[in-house]
Amino acid sequence: RIDVYDILDPVHVDFDRHRRSLLPPAVGEAPTYESLHPELFAPNRYIFLDGVIQSTRRNDAAYHEALVHPAMLLHPNPRRVAIIGGGEGATLREVLKHKSVEHVKMIDIDELMVKMSDEFLPEWNNCSDFEG
């Protein structure tokens, strides 16, 4: 079972600031800071697998960078990479940042997690802005 929750952290974002981040400025008014930077006021997305937290949107970059880059940088020329697990796609995203990579095989036994990540975490597994 996979559950997805979007939660506003009241320490950092209250509901009113989140709401302002979603609204365009009124005619003749300057845009609010919130509307100019909506990503700062978005709720944190939590992914649970069988009731156990798997990922959160706010911590994804640091976690996946630390998971991938040390191994990739220690190898003199990583060209072929296997990712065992990685259904969220963020590990793949980080591997593809290395220009030496020619082929990646990602294997995950949980097809539902891969599909849910495509739907609910598109920013984690979107590699369309990579060049190489």
Specify whether the CB–CB gap between 18 and 29 falls below 8 A.
no
**99 and 112 both lie in a single domain:** yes
**79 and 37 both lie in a single domain:** no
Domain count, the chain: 2
pTM equals 0.73
The DSSP bridge pattern shows strands 2-7 and 44-49 to be: antiparallel
Q: What is the pLDDT of residue 125?
A: 72
- Averaged confidence pLDDT in the chain: 86
**Residue 121 confidence (pLDDT) above 90:** no
Chain Cα centroid distance, residue 13: 19
Q: Which of 58, 77, 94 is the last residue of a domain?
A: 58
